[in-house]
Chains A and B, each alone.
Chain A
Amino acid sequence: MFVILLSIFGIVLLIIIIISYKISKKEDKSIITSLIILIGSIGIEIFIENTTIQLLFFVCIIILIIYIVFFCFIPRLFYIKGKFLFSETKSEIWKDLKIDSTIVEKQEKN
């Protein structure tokens, strides 16, 4: 019973992952892939009992988190047209981002 239910859950999750990968935007696909790896690694980490392997997995997960933040989220957040943010630190992108105060803009838009 337990195994049957678990496998049904697994199949449903797999279908949802495939559907979400298909219907998501091109720029979000990398986030979905990284998320699958991240959740999978944390899931595996929970079932590992050897502390040294756990620590090694921890290092991998930290590297993965750094990758997701710098290569998936920051470029998406700051609208970089697919280019990595820090390669263009002094370019126009940064100039666009420099806003003295959000309050001034708030008042103007109102």
Chain B
Amino acid sequence: MIGILLAFIPLYCLSIGLFWSISCSKSIYRKNILIILNLIILFVNTLNIIIFSLFDLQYYDFNLNLNVGTFLLWEIIFVLSCIILYFSKDEMTGIINENLYDFLIILIIFSLVGASLTSNILITVIFVIIVYISLGLIFYFGIYSKPFKLLRLFFISIILSIIFLILGLLLIYFEFNSFILTEIRNSELNPALNLIISLLFLFGFGIPCGIIPFSIYHLKVYYHDSTYTTLFTITNLTFPIINFILFKFLLTFTYDLVINSLIILIIAVVGLIISITYSLTETFTAIDGRSFSIKKILGLSSNSDFNMILLISAFIGFLPTELIKIEYGSFVFLFIFCMILVKILLFYSLKPVMLETLDDNIKILGGFWKKYKIFGIFYLIGGILLTIPFALGNILINLISNIFTESLIDLPHISFIGYTIWALLIIYFIIILIWVSITFNDIFIGTPKYLKNKNIRPITKLDYFPQILTFILSIFLCTFYFFNNSLFMEIINFCTEQFMH
């Protein structure tokens, strides 16, 4: 009982944070207390992980899904939220309606935590709707006022996604008379209905995150005109967590049928090609009007991450045995985690740009290497972590090749699709390396032409902490994998199984 009570402390502290952020008008007090509250939550959650894994505790009553997997996901959310709150201290202090902005950020964190807490589809959908609407609203905060019409397409995509989610919920209600995932998993489902429900949830969760038919077209303005903090919130916090939730949903509905996996595979490939093309166009040319924006490049690359994760997770439906499916699920789990680590490094390294100027055009930026060498080094490390041997990308390629050679050797048709995905993954890593190297050269080495901010805050030792932590975590993962492969996989498999419950 005490364990369950401990599990509720993060949610309880977040509710306190919500009320505190809306009512406290003094910005320094508010921000500092929110950061402290977040650190307390992080500590309690780490304690929860230790207690629940040591005593093998699980709790599934009252639509709740309390286990180590859920707490691990919360840990990712809380680490990211600490970085966001620290990031917003420099960028969003002194803006109009500042307390409302902090409130919306905490509301997004609270909703993401809530969405991953429950196994009830209805409650998850409510939280996801709150997240999407809050993301639309936080765009309008910043130093400059923005017209409402800027995000018209983004709001249309949200309305469409809400309609899809509600339709999916109604179909589930009439078919199963239950919204709990574990109950639905155990019952028989008509294949045609399975396909319809899968697609409704895929579009419902995925459209605002950049899958076709909208792809990245509703997000271009969002990326270009939002602040770095807002961009970090949508791309690094929301998209990966929605990825986790979507994967859990699709595991229940879609991945039992090959045809469903094939359709999702095609949707993901088209989305991936569009987002990669746009991120490269943004890096090299000025075709798309306001081009060369570093915020847009990072945002578009996170859309390609979303589609890539969808693509590799869709392949689970083709795999022959349950054991390999679990192993592959762990690979997807690890892939999302590695992408979060890489994106933290890349994003956080742009803090000096955020402090020094309001410009985001990479052709205007430049000369940051002299003053901010450490940030430059971490930016490069973020890019090459996915390509050099004994690094994160190497683990992923190793894992996927192990799974494919073990399972697909006798299945020529499926192995063709599998190896195509493998090739796409390698190309995808190389493309990341290309745009990281180009933007690194422009931002850190090139000649500066940008207008400087008048009051620049000097960088303190605390500013390096998130990068160092992420870097150490990446190195730890790599060394752990290469020195004790079996134990590493055992832990990852355990976490994935717990999370997918």
Interface residues on B, range: 35 or more
Which of B130, B179, B290 lies in contact with A51, CB distance below 8 A? B179
Task: Tell whether A102 is near chain B: CB-to-CB under 8 Å.
Answer: yes
Which of B18, B24, B126 lies in contact with A61, CB distance below 8 A? B126
- What sequence of 0s and 1s flags, for each residue 59-73 of chain A, a beta carbon within 8 Å of any chain B beta carbon? 001100100010001
- What sequence of 0s and 1s flags, for each residue 337-363 of chain B, a beta carbon within 8 Å of any chain A beta carbon? 000000000000000000001110000
What residues of B have a CB within 8 angstroms of the CB of A78 in the complex? 140, 148
Task: Tell whether A105 is near chain B: CB-to-CB under 8 Å.
Answer: yes
Q: Taking A28-B99, A42-B123, A99-B145 as contacts, is the C-beta distance between A77 and B19 under 8 angstroms? A: no
B118–A46 CB distance below 8 A: yes
Which of A5, A39, A107 lies in contact with B15, CB distance below 8 A? A39
CA distance A32 to B103 in the complex (A): 10
Query: Which residues between 1 and 58 of chain A lie within 8 Å of chain B, taking CB atoms?
Result: 1-2, 5-6, 9, 13, 16-17, 19-21, 23-25, 28, 31-32, 35, 39, 42, 45-47, 49, 51, 54-55, 58
Task: Tell whether B114 is near chain A: CB-to-CB under 8 Å.
Answer: yes
Q: Taking A5-B5, A47-B62 as contacts, is the C-beta distance between A77 and B97 under 8 angstroms? A: yes
With CB as the reference atom, state the residue of chain A lying closest to B172: A51
B114–A42 CB distance below 8 A: yes
A76–B100 CB distance below 8 A: yes
B173–A55 CB distance below 8 A: yes
* Cβ distance A29 to chain B, nearest Cβ, rounded Å: 9
With CB as the reference atom, state the residue of chain B lying closest to A36: B19
Q: Taking A45-B126, A54-B122 as contacts, is the C-beta distance between A110 and B451 under 8 angstroms? A: yes
Which of B12, B25, B130 lies in contact with A9, CB distance below 8 A? B12
Interface of A, secondary structure class, is: helix
* Cβ distance A97 to chain B, nearest Cβ, rounded Å: 5
* Cβ distance A20 to chain B, nearest Cβ, rounded Å: 4
A20–B12 CB distance below 8 A: no
Which of B25, B129, B453 lies in contact with A62, CB distance below 8 A? B129
B126–A58 CB distance below 8 A: yes
* Cβ distance A24 to chain B, nearest Cβ, rounded Å: 4
Add 11 more A-B contacts to A39-B15, A61-B126, A85-B148 (CB < 8 A): A2-B2, A23-B23, A24-B22, A28-B100, A35-B18, A46-B64, A46-B118, A54-B120, A58-B126, A79-B96, A105-B144
Q: Identify 18 residue pairs between A and B in the complex whose beta-carbon atoms are under 8 Å apart, listed by A's number.
A: A13-B16, A20-B19, A20-B23, A21-B23, A23-B24, A24-B23, A28-B22, A28-B99, A31-B100, A39-B18, A47-B62, A51-B178, A65-B129, A73-B137, A77-B137, A103-B290, A106-B358, A109-B144
- Interface positions of B (Cβ within 8 A of A): 1-2, 5, 12, 15-16, 18-20, 22-25, 62-64, 96-97, 99-100, 103, 114, 118, 120, 122-123, 125-127, 129-130, 133, 137, 140-141, 143-148, 169, 173, 177-179, 225, 290, 357-359, 451, 453
- Interface positions of A (Cβ within 8 A of B): 1-2, 5-6, 9, 13, 16-17, 19-21, 23-25, 28, 31-32, 35, 39, 42, 45-47, 49, 51, 54-55, 58, 61-62, 65, 69, 73, 76-79, 85, 96-99, 102-103, 105-107, 109-110
Return the 10 tightest CB-CB contacts between A and B, nearest first: A20-B23, A110-B451, A24-B23, A20-B19, A2-B1, A97-B147, A102-B144, A106-B358, A23-B23, A77-B140
